[in-house]
Amino acid sequence: MRTDFPIAAFNNIETPFYYYDMGLLRETLATALREAAKYDNFHIHYAVKANFNPMILAAMREQGIGADCVSGGEVKAAIAAGIPAEKIVFAGVGKTDREIADALDAGIFCFNIESVPELQAIEALAAERGKVAQVAIRVNPNVAAHTHANITTGLAENKFGINYEQLDEVIDCIEGCEHLTLIGLHFHIGSQILVMDDFVELCSRVNELQKQLREKRGIVLPHINVGGGLGIRYDEPDECAVPDFAAYFAVYAENLKLEKGQTLHFELGRSLVGQCGSLITRVTYVKRGTCKQFAIVDAGMNDLVRPAMYGAYHKIENLSSCDACEKYDVVGPICESSDVFCKDVELPHCKRGDILAIRSAGAYGEAMAFGYNCRALPKAYLSDSIG
Ligand SMILES: *Cc1c(COP(=O)(O)O)cnc(C)c1O
């Protein structure tokens, strides 16, 4: 039985729910900030889409971390949490007029633009307001990150960013717009990346591009944004609770050639919040099939969709039992065969009412929950209030 979860408190709470270890979150943020601060021009933005729980956003604000948003709703959530507009960047291929107008009115730091029609829309809306919008070009660096196909974003075939061949046209277009100022280049190659060489490859693409822009057009932009993507160890939530930020930032410090006066921005999502969250669920029934034993739990794919959507692994623990282990398929109650959290997992003997923790669920967990089968969205509790 694990003692570092407040099991007595869990026993009195209706499941399923997300539980956030705020001590671990603070330690993770402090580590990331400390490691980034070793380089005086490195800035961290939090990728809000990983987890937009207001308490998580408040923790970011307390640490002075900015926000990377991919929708108007996220811009609003970041501002509502007290994150200053001048620390907010806004990316996304499909920003609507409403979202652009609101972000202009809020006075955000930068729009990461992904197409010519988008920059024309921003120009028109900024002109209406008599404002000048700061923009960065999201470049598609054509780097194949070693991660799940659904979460690579930096390939020419992906919908994101602007390809090299079209860069000149986009820069010309921005230079012709009175209400846009080009301040930077933005990149993001994907998510859950643990192979540091992928980031090394990104660095060499950025270096090449900077060289070309300087030599061909005499352009040196003040901001370089390399996105996020640093992965977490889903197999080792306790041993590797805090990601290796030192190694991650060192890759950029060693491989990226910044020009004088350039600031380097990071947009970290998963690595900041992933390990601090667990989805807590009860065993409703243990069902013995002919060749399988199922632990049917009260959480479903609607509460945590990563296993069903990405084939993702989450470590599962039985917090109520220290009996001998048996093999289970841990499954939810949703009417979909893909509603499986993990197959053939060894767990201490499970019985009805046992509480299980599905670990490493702080990122893309609660944020991706939905209401299929008329299910209520999962609640969330913090260690600060129930620990
Ligand atoms: C999702 C996203 C991130 C964060 O990715 P993580 O893998 O969670 O670090 C950063 N930047 C952009 C543009 C994104 O879309």
In a domain, 12, yes or no: no
What is the per-residue pLDDT across 339-353, written as a single tens digit (0 to 9) for each?
Answer: 999 999 999 999 999
Domain closes at, from 274, 294, 328: 274
With a pLDDT cut of 90, the percent of the chain lying above it is 91
Distance CA 160, CA 260 (A): 29
Q: What is the CATH number of the domain that holds 299?
A: 2.40.37.10
Amino acid at 297: V
Axis-axis angle for helices 116-128, 97-106 (nearest 10): 50
pLDDT at 61: 98
**Which uninterrupted H or E stretch holds 279?**
strand 277-288
111 Cα to the center of ligand 1, angstroms: 15
**How much distance in Å is there from the Cα of 49 to the middle of ligand 1?**
8
Find tokens 């990331």 and name the residue: 32
Residues 150-170 have pLDDT tens digits of 666 666 677 788 988 899 999
Question: Angle formed by the axes of helices 22-36 and 245-255, to 10°?
Answer: 20
Q: Does 1 map to a domain?
A: no
Q: State pLDDT tens for residues 204-259.
A: 999 999 999 999 999 999 999 999 999 999 999 999 999 999 999 999 999 999 99
In the prediction, which pLDDT does 33 show? 98
Q: What is the structure's pLDDT at 271?
A: 98
pLDDT bucket at 146, cuts 50 / 70 / 90: confident
Q: What is the number of the ligand 1 atom nearest to the C-alpha of 50?
A: 8
Range 75-93 average pLDDT? 97
Residue 364 has pLDDT above 60, yes or no: yes
- Amino acid (one-letter) located at 158: N
CA distances from 248 to 35, 66, 178, 254 (A): 9, 19, 38, 10
pTM, two decimals, is 0.95
- Are 110 and 253 members of one domain? yes
First CA to last CA distance, the chain: 17
Q: From the CA of 159, how far away is ligand 1's center (Å)?
A: 15
Counting the structural domains of the chain, the total is 2
Residue nearest atom 8 in ligand 1 by C-alpha distance: 269
Please give the pLDDT value at position 239: 96
Q: Which domain holds residue 29?
A: 22-274
For 21-73, the pLDDT digits (tens) are 999 999 999 999 999 999 989 999 999 999 999 999 999 999 999 999 999 99
281 and 154, same domain (yes or no)? no
Residues 207 and 191 both lie in one domain: yes
Pair 227, 156 in one domain: yes
pLDDT of 155 reads: 67
Q: Among 140, 224, 266, 267, which residue has the most ligand 1 atoms within 8 Å of its CB, making it the best to mutate?
A: 267
**pLDDT-wise least confident of 90-99, 154-163, 197-206, 377-386:** 154-163
Q: What is the CATH number of the domain that holds 75?
A: 3.20.20.10
Last residue of a domain, one of 219, 240, 274: 274
Q: What is the pLDDT of residue 164?
A: 87
Residues in contact with ligand 1 (CB, 6 Å cut-off): 47, 49-50, 68, 70, 91, 188, 191, 227-230, 267-271, 363
